[in-house]
Structure 1
Amino acid sequence: MELKLKHEAYGVLLVNLGTPDAPTASAVRRYLKQFLSDRRVVDVPRAIWWPVLNGIILPIRSPKVAKAYASIWEEDSPLRSIGQQQAEQLASRLIMDQGLDCPVELAMTYGQPSIPDGIANLMNKGVKRIVVLPLYPQYSATTTGSVADAIANALRDIRHIPEIRMVPHYYDHHQYIKGLAGSVKMYWAQHGQPEKLMMSFHGIPQRYARLGDPYPDHCEATAKAVAKELNLRDDQWIQTYQSRFGREPWLQPYTDKTLEALPDKGVRSIDVICPAFASDCLETLEEIAEENRDIFMEAGGQQYRYIPALNAAPCHARLMSSLVSEQLKGW
């Protein structure tokens, strides 16, 4: 793609994980192959992993995952449609908050719109300084680290590369904590407060944490800060990890196993939020809101509710605007 540099300007690349192009087995297979080929996501030696991925996982999982996507798909993938809203709102907030009129492009680490296309689009608009905002509040090498890799790969074929700054995390940012707590308070004001609030974070293998990934520390800090902001007692909330994959141990306690056990401990009503997700997607709308609800109710629970992600809420746009402006200082 030909790049036309017109003048010095700022731009923002808003990045999320990714989504298939359609809720079909073939589209999901392409997406999963790209995702599960990332060495930061799966670090098994390629000689072992390729036969397993191509011969077992992709043929078996693609149709199942496609069916799950079909259950939440509307005109587009929720992750992509919400992401477009977030990009538009961020551009408006930057004008309102910072007086900064700059382009904002949505990109995905896997799938479309891609990171290389996002960078090219910004540069074609005259951008020379790009703030990369990965929508991962808690840093992990499997998410934010993969964004950094994708950025570096995209810049390899560009002769005059732009200056880049990236938001590494925002797990303890005061606006993020207040935004999460505020969404819970608003939900409870309308629907009442349950016996317990579960904060379910996406998991990673325990081995990754032992090797130095700070993700579990960030998750714990977020959960404690939200509980404090909500004035919850220790027995009123719990932190868990969801979406494990493969046979090796992942971060615990597991969300599904915890939900299965809670009714026997006298917990009959629970609300769940997923603070690691900036946008609702398959892992929240299908896994948490549907699959895990069934687990809890079949185990004897009486009330189970999922509180949506911040998505396109005004407080989320203000948070993103603040994160970008903090990166622009002294630039």
Structure 2
Amino acid sequence: MNNISWRGIRAFLLVAEHGSFTAAANVSRYSKANLSQLVSDLEAALSVQLLVRTTRTLRLTEVGEGYFRQCKEAMAQLDAAADWATQSTSTLKGAIRMNTVGGVIGEDLVAPLVMAFQEQHPDVSVQVNFSSARVDLIENPFDLVIRMGELPDSSLLMRRLQTIRTRYVASPDFVAKHGAIIRPEDLEHVPLIYGSVDQWVLRRGAEQRVVKVGGGLNIASGRVMRRAAIAGQGVTRLADVYCQGDIDARALVEVLPAWSEQTQLSLVCPPSRHQLARVRALMDWIAARFDARYQAAMRGN
């Protein structure tokens, strides 16, 4: 590192992440003056300007932006290495930060598995964040993420959990009232129940149809969308785990079955975190038990 101080790099990361020396000082053990001196010393050691300072604003230079990205990734790897070096070889302990989709999958299937794991390993603290937003495992502090869809970043470690089938369903009374739905275009003439997606993309082999959704019933909850469909409020689009039991019980009927879609559900981990025994253990625990819970939920159990 020559004359480059670890304290200087961490000070620079703090300031860059929080947008000002004042904000960085408020969340750290450094004073504003101390942070400023550390960053200035770092710039002098590198012989480059990392930050542009004015009386009112602070921004990264082009070099500063690149240095910030690489240092943040490097620090994350160093922190993971320190964590790995100090972990016990006989007892699992430490924190695991996890992000997963919510609803039935996250709350009814994943959460009980996490609770059972933590009961078996009381020295492990699992923090679960439920959200549908896709997170970047490099930029965000999560050790494990459960994701829907394809995984573009091949550097991440992945365990496939389930292939989910998305189905279009309505109540028998609704279909009797509005007539059979044979083509995707028929969806444009009936009430729809939908969430945050403002258009449905239907695929059948090489064919694709796009149906714009609007009006109808807009509900950002798969559970409530299911109940609304059973009540005859419209056609909705649900993962099979939400509606298979209702289809079997004839509370719902599937429309456009040839246009149903398959989506991969995966458990994803960055390589630096997979080195930790507790993270690997939770991955193995969930992967070994998830399918049985999923199939039980499909049966309505």
Same fold (TM over 0.5): no
The structure richer in strand per residue is: 2
The structure richer in helix per residue is: 1
Normalising by structure 1, report the TM-score: 0.27
Q: Which protein has the larger Cα radius of gyration, Structure 1 or Structure 2?
A: 2
Normalising by structure 2, report the TM-score: 0.29
